[in-house]
Structure 1
Amino acid sequence: MFFWWLLWLFYVAAYIYVVILIVSDLFRDEKLSGWLKAVWIIVLVFVPFLTALVYVIARGKGMAERAAASRGYTIAESDDYKPTASSTPADDIAKAKALLDAGTISQGEFDALKSKALGNQYFGA
């Protein structure tokens, strides 16, 4: 009895996981109209197992492509990131000294910028 209950619980959890994947794929798909998304969800509610099976068979390849594309955007965005501060600490201190000489910043601000530039050298930031 316990084995059958455990097996039933596994199937229910697997089905809920598939439904979550289907609904997230529906909202991820930009080519599908809102009405068709609503129809898929309504049919998924009223004929759940058959609809999930048909959806995975009919749109499974597109599900995989959309999932890979959504993961790919995150990786591409992080790969394209380049820090803007590519100058050396000596360059930063020289720029701060020029600002100090021009009267744009005070001696305290210059000391803070100098300290920051020297700190960035040691911590790799």
Structure 2
Amino acid sequence: MQNALIDLAESYDYPLLNFFWTMLLIFLWVLWFMLLFRVIADIFRDDALSGWGKAGWTVLVILLPFLGVFVYLIARGRGMGEREFSRAQQQEQAFRSYVRESAGPSHADELAKIAELKNRGDLTPAEYEQAKAKILSS
């Protein structure tokens, strides 16, 4: 039994070049699916594209995948990067505004406000010191 396994392992021939060719094909296959899903995601995320346009591009990409993806990249490829960039900027702005709203006003902002009130004469120096102590203690 053990001799049969050794003979099988010794008789199996898979040259190194075939291994590299197989790895290249797997890499290209994964790359193709990444590109296909990226195009489909761009179709559905594009707000400027009408419903019929989205349906048409989706049908073209699904029924004739190679032709559909390449035509889409030629026709709308430049806009893909611009739409992705603007989407990233919107997400960053939304995150920053959420952080600002969640954090609330800072001590420096509050101190600047009461200093402005004191400079305009709306607060007396005693009221200013009292408000300043209250802000710094919290």
Query: Do they superpose with TM above 0.5?
Result: yes
TM-score by length of 2: 0.60
Q: Which runs of 5+ in 2 are unaligned?
A: 1-17, 111-131
Question: 2 CA distance for matches of 1:31 and 1:5?
Answer: 41
Compute the TM-score of the two structures, normalised by the length of structure 1: 0.65
The ranges of structure 1 where at least 4 consecutive aligned residues each deviate by more than 6 angstroms after the TM superposition are none
Distance 2:63 2:22 in 1: 24
Q: Which amino acid aligns with 1:29?
A: D
Question: Which letter does structure 1 place at the counterpart of 2:106?
Answer: S
2:32 corresponds to 1:18: no
Secondary structure of the corresponding residue to residue 59 of structure 2? helix
Matched residue, 2:22: 5
Q: 1:62: how far off? A: 0.9
Task: Give the deviation of 1:33 after TM superposition.
Answer: 1.2
Number of the residue aligned with 2:50 = 33
> Could you say which residue in structure 2 is the equivalent of 1:84?
104
Matched, 1:62 2:103: no
| Bigger Rg, which one | 2
Alpha-carbon distance in 1 for matches of 2:134, 2:66: 65
Shift of 1:78: 3.0
Aligned CA-pair RMSD: 2.2
SS at match of 2:47: coil
Q: What amino acid is aligned across from residue 134 of structure 2 in structure 1? A: D
For residues 59-79 of structure 1, the C-alpha deviation after alignment (integer angstroms, 9 at most, x for no partner) is: 011111110011001222233
What letter matches 2:33 in structure 1? I
Alpha carbons of structure 1 residues 73 and 92: separation in structure 2 relative to 1, 3 Å? same
Q: Which runs of 5+ in 1 are unaligned?
A: 94-113, 118-125
Identity over aligned pairs, percent:
33
User: Quick one: higher RCO (CA 8 Å, sep 6+), 1 or 2?
Assistant: 1
Residue 91 of structure 1 and its aligned partner are, at CA, apart by 2.4
